[in-house]
Structure 1
Amino acid sequence: MKNTLKGLVAALCVALPFFAPVTARAAAQSAADPALVQRGAYLAKVGDCVACHTAPKGKPFAGGLPMTTPMGKIYTTNITPDPQTGIGGYTEQDFARAMREGVAKDGHNLYPAMPYPSYAKVNDDDMKALYAYFISGVAPVQQANREPDIKWPLNMRWPLKFWNMVFLDKGVYQDKPGKDVAWNRGAYLIQGLGHCGSCHTPRGIAFQEKALDESGSAFLSGGVLDGWFAANLTGEHNVGLGRWNEQDLQAFLKTGANRHASAFGSMTSVINNSTQGMSDTDIAAMTTYLKSLPPVGGNGAPPYNYDPQATKVSLNRPANNEGARVDTAYCMHCHGVDGRGFAPLLAPLAGNPNVLEKDASSLINVTLNGTEDIVIGGVPAPYPMPKYAPVLNNQQIADVLTFVRAGWNNGAPAVTVDDVAKLRKSTQAAK
């Protein structure tokens, strides 16, 4: 009998480590405060975690979404509470370290495509709520992570330790003295979980964001990422938010469209999965912060004023401009013969900050590949931008975008055939 008892005890001691992660997760789940889990769900929405960590037709947060970097493709990881392939074995400290320092539980460094330099600013209370949600509020999915398509030696992760030493600021956000509650809340959301700078701030040679807050002049001045130009969010009057009032900006964050522009590219998923679900108070705080940023960028041109001359060219039968002919055949029916569109359903081309921007990447990309539906309250937008890659050749796209960028006093540089060809090739290869 004693030998049998000893055997059972020994077996239990051997087996216990294997059950520990599951037991720890179960304990965390049972102890989680429902209100804390609910708050974590809201914060995960603010961070738009589902957009990056969910592959097309994949299960929520199970990873596998391909992301193009200068070094090659990487694939987002499984952040469900599955103990074998997800983060089910993570303690709260493990979770916080991965979020703030980009270091996984087993010690390997994450590529900075994961915006941990932004998440480093998330405070302890919010980090606790996020952990509660991902451990207790997300369904576990057993799906192994996929190795990146990056060739040796660029796939080595140990140099990231030195990258972190140079570029990672580990301090959580601290309220700025002299600023009110709304400004500081907006700054915290924009710089932290919202990680707006990850797309909208230009990057340096080491793929680092050139600024992490408003103390750096490059912050939110626009940047190229994955074939798109993420717009200038400073107060610049032509390519930025200088002509937008607070209501314009709030409408854009809530619905993806306003009288100036419509969301496209990766911003579509931000609207669909994140900002439309945020509270009005938080949207207003983000707006307050963004509207406080001084103007940066642009080309020094005076504030935009509409000029109807391009309309006269388009209405000339037959149009005496190759770009105008394409515009007349394919564009003016939605965007208006006068280029002013039918906002907010159909964006204007005249004075649109994305049209005025020196870098035409987004215009070329959206013309070639269209955009996904903006879905507000479960209802898709009625007039998504279609893809014209199968319909128009590179010369036609260059011609029409050059016409649009020059017309109605937009005054933006011409688009070349080579510009279109390069983006066609890179975006088709990514599919």
Structure 2
Amino acid sequence: MTSKVRSRLAVLVVLAAVAALLAWALSVVLNRSGDPQAQMKQAMSPQLIEKGAYLARAGDCVACHTSHDGGKPFAGGLGIASPIGTIYSTNITPDASTGIGNWTYGDFERAMRRGIGHDGSALYPAMPYPSYAKVSDQDLEALYAYFMKGVAPVAQANKANDIPWPLSIRWPLAYWRTLFSPLPADEGVAEAAAQSELQRGAYLVQGLGHCGSCHTPRALTMQEKGLDESAGGYLTGAELNGWAVPALRGMPHWSQQQIVDYLGSGRNSVASVAGEMKDVIANSTSHMSDADLQAMAVYLKSLEGGKAPAYQHQPQRSEGTTAKLTAAKGLNLGERLYVDNCGACHFVSGEGAPEVFPRLDGASVVNADNPAALIHVILAGAQTPSTERAPSVLPMPGFAERMDDAEVAELATFLRQGWSNHAAAVTAAQVSDVRAELQHGH
């Protein structure tokens, strides 16, 4: 290597180091958004703490900040899978040494709405701060009051994230946040949220409810393709851990009351909850007021521009399947498996029983492009949560021990192509993949 080449390489190294230093310095500036010394404007009263408890339910904070292996509420430790590795939720109890007990209101506000940690570092967007940016000052103060005075402190150290270097470097997240997360809304939000049922519903769905975190597709850079109805991709459905997450725009096959019933109890006249939405119902929406559930339903029904549903009811096809199952002659393997294992609850009509057994003719989980969720339910079963509005638990058994992969594939294919359903067939290989995931605890 000549001295001229070495000199050029040295210059390039120096320039790269300077550029990296400048980029880091700018990220520090970006992480100074908000005031860590900001104080609450409302008095820390029992009423404010009670309001905060309700809002924490609306935000389902306990779901992510509580370990599923017997962890104490809000003490963190839940592993959240991401494309870059596993992120562990943090302790948000008021413990002074391991939780947020020493946080000012300003620290809390910056973390919730700006994605900036107590130490000034950028937070991973596993924390839905792009949605929480819509939360009003008044509601955020109530949440702070609740977590400081209404939650029991738990001394539990935070777990280190399992993210390899250099992906574990956080300061570039300041740029992600600047590009994809809005600044906190001004206090006009609080007034607008009280003006009409529609606006209240939008405030809850877009903000604390952070429904878009699961129901909105994400770009390659992992931001949601829209944070409100102004974006065409908002709430158009996505995929989460192998489950097809349905679109929520307009929800043409459900009435407003069916949405309210589902959110309030985990079941309605045509469907029952399964998958990760079960925890949302159990921890969050089932504890919300009828007025807020109605507002959310009004907002979701108001949305337009969702993709046309793949399912269209065809009476002749549905009646044909019902007649064949009733006669029980010339049945293929999938049809026989249905009659023997499913018909007693879901009936030959595939209509199920309102508020008890979900309807299969037209069900989104049956007609989804990806059949993994349907396969999961067949193998592992499901059960509704016990809620105040619907205390009884309705279980469906799993058939993993009773059926092999080929049989599950045949049953799932019948479900996806019987009655008016017309989704693609399921293969034994697809069943094998889901079975393997279940065996590994996913």
When normalised by structure 2's length, the TM-score is 0.84
CA distance in 2: counterparts of 1:229 and 1:215, whole angstroms: 23
> Which residue of 216, 223, 237 corresponds with 2:238?
223
CA distance in 2: counterparts of 1:96 and 1:85, whole angstroms: 19
* Cα distance, 1:303 vs structure 2: 5.4
Identify the residue that residue 34 of structure 1 maps to in structure 2. 46
Identify the residue that residue 382 of structure 2 maps to in structure 1. 371
Q: How does 1:271-350 map to 2 (within 5 A)?
A: 271-298=281-308, 302=312, 305=315, 307-315=318-326, 317=328, 320-350=331-361
Describe the shift of the 1:140–1:315 C-alpha distance in structure 2 as closer, same or farther (beyond 3 A): same
CA distance in 1: counterparts of 2:330 and 2:267, whole angstroms: 31
CA distance in 2: counterparts of 1:372 and 1:159, whole angstroms: 42
Q: How does 1:128-167 map to 2 (within 5 A)?
A: 128-167=141-180
Identify the residue that residue 75 of structure 2 maps to in structure 1. 62
CA distance in 2: counterparts of 1:304 and 1:93, whole angstroms: 57
Question: What residue ranges of structure 1 are gaps of 5+ in the alignment?
Answer: 1-26, 236-240
Output one character per residue of 1:77-130: Cα deviation in whole Å (capped at 9) or x when no partner: 111001111111111110111111222101232221211111111010000000
Q: Which amino acid aligns with 1:40?
A: G
Q: Which amino acid aligns with 1:271?
A: I
Describe the shift of the 1:304–1:211 C-alpha distance in structure 2 as closer, same or farther (beyond 3 A): farther
Instruction: Indicate if the aligned counterparts of 1:402 and 1:415 stay in contact, CA closer than 8 A.
Output: yes
Identify the residue that residue 267 of structure 1 maps to in structure 2. 277
Identify the residue that residue 209 of structure 1 maps to in structure 2. 224
Describe the shift of the 1:339–1:301 C-alpha distance in structure 2 as closer, same or farther (beyond 3 A): closer
Identify the residue that residue 208 of structure 2 maps to in structure 1. 193
CA distance in 1: counterparts of 2:49 and 2:158, whole angstroms: 25
Instruction: Indicate if the aligned counterparts of 1:298 and 1:357 stay in contact, CA closer than 8 A.
Output: no
CA distance in 1: counterparts of 2:352 and 2:283, whole angstroms: 26
* Cα distance, 1:40 vs structure 2: 0.3
* Cα distance, 1:304 vs structure 2: 5.7
* Cα distance, 1:317 vs structure 2: 4.2
CA distance in 1: counterparts of 2:386 and 2:322, whole angstroms: 32
Describe the shift of the 1:71–1:312 C-alpha distance in structure 2 as closer, same or farther (beyond 3 A): farther
> Which residue of 123, 142, 165 corresponds with 1:110?
123
Q: How does 1:331-410 map to 2 (within 5 A)?
A: 331-377=342-388, 380-410=391-421
Describe the shift of the 1:70–1:398 C-alpha distance in structure 2 as closer, same or farther (beyond 3 A): farther
CA distance in 1: counterparts of 2:392 and 2:278, whole angstroms: 11
Identify the residue that residue 8 of structure 2 maps to in structure 1. none
* Cα distance, 1:151 vs structure 2: 2.6
> Which residue of 47, 65, 69 corresponds with 2:59?
47
* Cα distance, 1:256 vs structure 2: 0.9
Q: How does 1:238-257 map to 2 (within 5 A)?
A: 241-257=251-267
Instruction: Indicate if the aligned counterparts of 1:82 and 1:140 stay in contact, CA closer than 8 A.
Output: yes
Q: Secondary structure at the match of 1:307?
A: helix
Q: Secondary structure at the match of 1:281?
A: helix
Instruction: Indicate if the aligned counterparts of 2:94 and 2:154 stay in contact, CA closer than 8 A.
Output: yes
Describe the shift of the 1:424–1:272 C-alpha distance in structure 2 as closer, same or farther (beyond 3 A): same
Instruction: Indicate if the aligned counterparts of 2:408 and 2:431 stay in contact, CA closer than 8 A.
Output: yes
CA distance in 2: counterparts of 1:157 and 1:286, whole angstroms: 35
Describe the shift of the 1:397–1:227 C-alpha distance in structure 2 as closer, same or farther (beyond 3 A): same
CA distance in 1: counterparts of 2:350 and 2:228, whole angstroms: 35
CA distance in 1: counterparts of 2:199 and 2:297, whole angstroms: 11
Output one character per residue of 1:368-403: Cα deviation in whole Å (capped at 9) or x when no partner: 333354111297534223333333222222211111
Question: What residue ranges of structure 2 are gaps of 5+ in the alignment?
Answer: 1-38
Say which is worse superposed, 344-353 or 305-314, in terms of deviation: 305-314
Instruction: Indicate if the aligned counterparts of 1:227 and 1:427 stay in contact, CA closer than 8 A.
Output: no
* Cα distance, 1:408 vs structure 2: 0.7
Q: Secondary structure at the match of 1:308?
A: helix
CA distance in 2: counterparts of 1:151 and 1:393, whole angstroms: 38
Describe the shift of the 1:323–1:159 C-alpha distance in structure 2 as closer, same or farther (beyond 3 A): farther
Output one character per residue of 1:248-268: Cα deviation in whole Å (capped at 9) or x when no partner: 111111111112211111111
Describe the shift of the 1:300–1:317 C-alpha distance in structure 2 as closer, same or farther (beyond 3 A): closer
Output one character per residue of 1:120-176: Cα deviation in whole Å (capped at 9) or x when no partner: 110100000000000110000011111222333333322312211221111327669
* Cα distance, 1:74 vs structure 2: 2.1
Output one character per residue of 1:172-231: Cα deviation in whole Å (capped at 9) or x when no partner: 276699x96111110000000000000111111122111111011111111111232222
Identify the residue that residue 72 of structure 1 maps to in structure 2. 85
Q: Which amino acid aligns with 2:307?
A: G
Describe the shift of the 1:301–1:61 C-alpha distance in structure 2 as closer, same or farther (beyond 3 A): closer
Instruction: Indicate if the aligned counterparts of 2:406 and 2:428 stay in contact, CA closer than 8 A.
Output: yes
How many residue pairs were aligned?
397
Identify the residue that residue 23 of structure 2 maps to in structure 1. none
> Which residue of 186, 191, 197 corresponds with 1:182?
197
When normalised by structure 1's length, the TM-score is 0.86
CA distance in 2: counterparts of 1:303 and 1:312, whole angstroms: 16
Q: Which amino acid aligns with 2:91?
A: N
Describe the shift of the 1:391–1:67 C-alpha distance in structure 2 as closer, same or farther (beyond 3 A): farther
